[in-house]
Amino acid sequence: MLSSRTASSIRRGAQASSFARMAATPQFTRSMTYVYNEGAVAQSKEFSKKERAHEDQFVKQHEMEQLKRLRADIEKKRAELESLEKEHAEKLEQVSNGKE
């Protein structure tokens, strides 16, 4: 029969070998350093200010372009109106000269 010392060393050896097997098996763990909340970047004040300034600049530029186009349209309409008034005055003069 085995002595108690020998039996315990065999048990320890069996435990050690099962531990070694567990340690040798690869364990895949997922580790993340930091989890970002969705939209966390957009919530920062500096980003919001920068984005707002960029949007304001775009809107201002767009409005300036629209004003430039409208002013050009107004000038075209004024020229067209002057041309029509001149044509009307000529026809009116022809009609009044024909009656006399």
Q: In this predicted structure, what is the pLDDT of residue 20?
A: 59
* 38 φ, ψ (degrees, to nearest 5): -65, 125
Residue type at 9 in one-letter notation: S
d(CA 52, CA 46): 10
Task: Spell out the residues 6+ positions from residue 2 whose beta carbon is closer than 8 angstroms to its own.
Answer: 10
Task: Spell out the residues 6+ positions from residue 9 whose beta carbon is closer than 8 angstroms to its own.
Answer: none
Tens digits of per-residue pLDDT, 81-96?
999 999 999 999 999 8
Domain ranges of the chain: 44-100
At residue 70, the 3 state secondary structure works out as helix
Residue 95 CA to its chain's centroid (Å): 66
Tens digits of per-residue pLDDT, 12-59?
655 556 655 665 666 666 666 655 566 555 567 888 899 999 999 999
Q: In this predicted structure, what is the pLDDT of residue 65?
A: 98
